[in-house]
A and B are shown apart, each in its own frame.
Chain A
Amino acid sequence: MLKIEKLTRRFGQNLAVNNANLQIPDGQMVGIIGRSGAGKSTLLRLLNRLIDPSEGQILFGDTDIAALKGRDLRAWRSDCAMIFQQFNLVGRLDVVTNVLTGRLYDVPAWRSMAQVFTPRERAFAIQALDRLGMAHTALQRAETLSGGQQQRVAIARALAQEPKILLADEPIASLDPMNAKIVMDALRDINKQDGITVICNLHTLDTARNYCDRIIGMQDGRIVFDGTPDLLTTRMAREIYGAEADEAFNEAATSTAIPATPAPVRVPA
C-alpha cells in the first residue's frame, strides 16, 4: 500500500503539486491524466525521490519515503522502478549492460565499478529482455535502437530491479501508435502477471481508459479526479484537459489505438 498525505512541492512561487492525498493498494494499475504542467511528472518524481517534497508524507507500508537518505533511499529507488519519456538509457553502452544497471543496488561496489556481472545476473537480464522480445539486441549499443525498442529495453531494465512499484512518466509520448501499444501492453502484462503496482502518466485519455484500473486527474497541481474509468465523464475530462482537450481526445494523433483494433471506449471530440 502506497499512501500519500498532504504532499506538496513548490518551485519558487509555483505549486507543482498541491496538497495531494492518495492511497494506492498493491497491484493496481493507475493512470494519471492532465494537461502539460498539471504536476503529473512532479508527482511521479516525488514518489521515487528524484525530487524531494516540500511538505507532506509518502508512506510505503510503515516506511516514510520522504525522509529516506543514503543507502535506504537507494534501496527505495531500486524497489520503485521508473520509466521515462525519453527512455534515459546509456546510449553508448550495449543493451544488456543497460539492463544490468537495474541490478546495481545489489552489486558490491568493486564489481559495479569494474563492470563485472555474474553469469546469474546476466541470465536474469537476458530473460528480462526476452520477455520484451528484445533479447536478440543484447550486444548492440542502445543508441542504435528505435524509440519503441529503447523503451522496451528501459522496461527490461526496470524488471531487472525486481521492483514493487513501476512508475512510468509519459512512456509512450515519444512513440508511434504501434510501439505505444506494444509498450502499454507490456506494462499491463507486468501489472497482471507479476502483481507489480504500475503508476503511469498518460497524456491521452483513451489509453488511460483502455489500460488502467483507476484514473487520477490532475489540474494545476491538485488531484481533481480519482476513480474508475467509467466514472470519468466527458464533462469532467474536458475540464481536466482544458484547452488541450481536443488534442488529448484525438486518438489518431498520440494514442495506443491503432486502426486494426479500435478502442472499446471513445469520447466524441
Chain B
Amino acid sequence: MSNWIMAPILIPALAAMMLLLEVRERHWLRRVTGLTATLALVPVSILLFRQAATGDIQVYSLGDWPAPFGIVLVLDQLSALMVLLTSVLAVPALLYASHGDDRLGPNFHSLFQMQLMGINGAFLTGDLFNLFVFFEVLLIASYGLALHGRGPARVRAGLHYVVLNLIGSAVFLLALSLIYGATGTLNMADFAARAAELEGPALTLVKVAGLLLCVVFGLKAALFPLYFWLPATYASATAGVAALFAVMTKVGIYALLRVHGLAFSDGALAGLGDMALWTVSLLTLGLATVGVFGARRLGELVAYLVVMSVGTLVAALAWGTEEAISGALFYLLHSTLICAGLFLLADLVSRGRGDAGDTLMAGPRPPAAGLLGALFFIGAVAVAGLPPLSGFLGKVMLLRAVPAPAYWALLLAGGLLAVVGLSRAGSTLFWRAGEPMAGTVLNKGRLAAAVLLLAMAPAMVLLGGPLSAITQSVAAQWAQPDLYIHAVLGYPGGAQ
C-alpha cells in the first residue's frame, strides 16, 4: 500500500493553509505557492495513474481501521483518470486567473486549492458519507469562487447556486441515512455487496435512497430539470473559475458512474433508475441544444455546451455497456478540456470588446482577431464534433456504442445546431466587427493558458489510439465491480 494516494488531497490542503497566512501586497508569493502546488499535482497524478493502470486497486484505510468500519480511499483506474484530468485542467485555469483575476478579491488562491482538494477527495473516497463531506468541501469553495469579483449578475446567480446546492445536500443526507438504516453501512463496496442480497421493505428503502442519490448527482451534473442554475453561474463567474468548474459537473457524473457501476449493475438493484436517467439525459441534450442556439452571450453559449456534454455522457451511462462507458470517458476528457478552453477564450474576446463584452452583437474588433478567431475555430470544430478533432472521435465512439435511434438523432442534430450557433457567434465576433478599440492588448500569459487547453483537441486525436486503449481498460475495470468490492473488503461480496 503506497501513501501517494493521499497526496492529491494533502497537497492542496497544505497549500490552502499556507495561502491563508497573511502576506499583504505580495501577490507574487501567493501565485507562486498556488501554481507550485497545482503543478505538483500533475506528476503525482501521473504516478498514481501509472500505478492504477497495472490493474491493481489500491485501498488506503484512514487511521488503519479495516474497511467496512473505517473510511477508505480507493484508487482504481476510474478515480486515477479523473484525478489526472483535474490536475491537467487546473494548471491552465490557475495560470489564466494568475494574470490579474486573482486580485479581484481576497483569498482566491486559497479557495482554488480547497476546491481542488474537494474534487480530488470526491474522486478518491470509497465511503458514501465521506463523499458527502468532500462534496461540501468543494461546494463551499465553489461558492466563494463563483462570487469572486463583484457584480450584481454574479451575486444573483450565486444566490440561486447556493440555495439549490443546500437543498441538494439535505436530500443527499436523507439518501445516506436511508442507506445506513436499511443496510447498516456507508462503505461503497460493502453497500454494493449487501444491496445485491436485499429483499422486502429494506429493498424498497434502498431503491428510494438510490433514486434520491441519482437526483443529487443529477443536480451536481446539471441534468434536466436541474440544470437551470448552470448557465447563469458559469457565464457570470470569472474565466479561470469557469474553466475549473468545467470539471465540477463531471464530479456528479463520476459519482453516478461509481454508484451505478458498483451497486446498480446486478443483484437486487440492477438497472435502478436507468430508464429515468436515459429519458432525462436525452431531454437535457435536446434542451441544451436549444440553449446553444439561443444564447445571447458567448459565455452562456459555452455553458450550454457544457450541459450538452452532460446529456451526451449520462445517456451513454444509462445505456451502460462497457463500450458505451469507454466512449463516454473519452468524450468526458475531451469535453471538459475544450469547454474550459472556450471559457478562457470567451473571456479573452470579451476583454478586447469594451462595453460589448461577450454579447453576440457587432462591436469593436478584439485585438489579434486573427489569432483569437483561429483558436475559436479550432475550439468550435472540436466541441461540435466535426472531423478531424477530438470531439469527432468521441462522438464516433459513442454513436458506435449506443445504437439507439433517439440518441443518434439528438446527438447528430445537436452537433449540427451547435455548428450553426458557433459559426453565427464566430462570424459576429470576428467578421462583423468594427475598428479595434485603442489601448487594448492581448495578455500573453492569458493567451498561453487558453492555447494550452485548446491544443488538447489535436493532441487527443494524435494520441487517440493510446487514449482509447486507456479508456477501454478503465471501462473494463468499471464493469467488474467484484474487483473493487474484493479489493476493499478483502472477500468477494456478501458474507465473510
Whether both chains belong to one complex is answered with no
Q: Which B residues form the contact surface with A (CB < 8 A)? A: none
